[in-house]
Amino acid sequence: MYELTQQKHSKLNKLSSKTRKLLTRRNFGKYFTMFLMALPGIAHIVLFKYVTLPYALIAFKNFRAVDGLWGSQWVGLKNFNFLFGMVGKGWQMVRNVVLYNTAFIILGTLIGLALAVFLAEVYGSKMSKFYQTSLFFPQFISWVIISFVGYAFLHKSNGMINGVLTSIGQEPINWYNSPQYWPVIITLTHLWRNLGMSTVVYLAGILRINTEYFEAASIDGASKWQQVIYITIPSLVPLISVLTLLSIGSIFFADPGLFYQVPRQYVNPALIKSTEVIDTYVLRALRGGGQLELAAAAGVYQSVVGFIMVVVANWVVRKIDPESALF
């Protein structure tokens, strides 16, 4: 009886047991339904994130609209030269974005942690809602609106800061024409907008720490400060590490809202040299008919070098403490 069954299903026997399970009528219907359910989502991701990949080849070509993408001549890495200073000022934007992001990561993490510790101290009190709300609401404001807010502060004759300066007898400053102030302005604006998110994430991490640790520590006579150093921070290290690794991966990426809208680059070319990042360069190239292949090269550079950096940084972190690695 068994042999007969074996002969009958000899073809099926050749397949793996997993595939055999798949093809049974009951399971196949279920898996097919699941496949259909996942299909739109996956199709969308494949379309916008994977089908676009070949178009990045434009970075390696001497693009002429006449020849199209495939007909244009291959030039290897020539289009990347401008990013490294061999031609023109491309290195400026690379320098800008790395410096800004480094400052953002360091300040954002330190201040975010400090605020999270403070918020944890007063968590549940009447004011704590107010604190969280006011820290978090800038997340909801679009960058265009923020650029108007900046205008209200920094306009050379209507702005509040100059108004205050004149009324105490000081000379007003032409903010939108003075690139030297903008690294600070941009950093402060970035912190204003993004501190809320990182603080809440760290706060969530702190609240998850087992309170028994704190109780035991205070019975042992540890001060609050000591508790922070020896309990809170170490518990948050994996979280900090994951967030920092992710930030390193996007160290060449910048938010065009922050760097294009807030300094109003479209009307203040003087500010470009201290606020130009790769993303604003690409934005201007796309709008004003700049050279597409250079902009594409900049994009490839962002992704590839950023990816390499994450892999290397992750490898280093994995050696030190596997819990803290990204993957």
The Cα-based distances of 276 to 67, 86, 92, 161, 189 in angstroms read: 31, 18, 8, 24, 16
**Cβ 73 to another protein shortest distance, Å:** 18
Q: Cα(222)–Cα(319) distance, rounded to whole angstroms?
A: 32
Q: What distance in Å separates the CA atoms of residue 295 and residue 282, rounded to the nearest whole number?
A: 5
Which of 258, 271, 296, 313 touches another protein by CB under 8 A? Answer: 296
Whether 262 contacts 269, CB under 8 Å:
no
Which parts of 59-98 interact with another protein (CB under 8 A)?
59, 69
Of 289, 322, 219, the residue nearest 63 (C-alpha): 289
- Give the binding range for another protein (CB under 8 A) out of 2-10, 87-95, 228-236, 302-310: 302-310
Binder of another protein out of 24, 52, 73, 226 (CB under 8 A): 52
CA distances from 249 to 64, 126, 314 (A): 32, 39, 10
Q: Is 127 in the site for another protein (CB under 8 A)?
A: yes
226 belongs to the binding site for another protein (CB under 8 A) = no
Q: Give the integer Cα–Cα distance in Å for 213 and 74.
A: 62
> How many Cβ atoms from other residues are within 10 Å of residue 82's Cβ?
20
CB of 3 to another protein, least distance (A): 31
The smaller minimum CB distance to another protein, of residues 141 and 216, is found at: 141
Least separation in angstroms between residue 114's CB and another protein is: 9
Please, what is the minimum distance in Å from the beta carbon of residue 162 to another protein?
6
Size of the site for another protein (CB under 8 A): 101
User: Is residue 184 within 8 Å of 271, Cβ to Cβ?
Assistant: no
Instruction: Convert residues 308-327 into a mask of x (bound to another protein by CB under 8 A) and - (unbound).
Output: --x-----------------
| Binding-site member from 81, 109, 132, 187 for another protein (CB under 8 A) | 132
**Contact window for another protein (CB under 8 A) among 27-35, 73-81, 209-217, 317-325:** 27-35
Beta bridge mates, 74: 61
Residues 138-167 that bind another protein (CB under 8 A): 138-149, 151-153, 155, 157-160, 162-164, 166-167
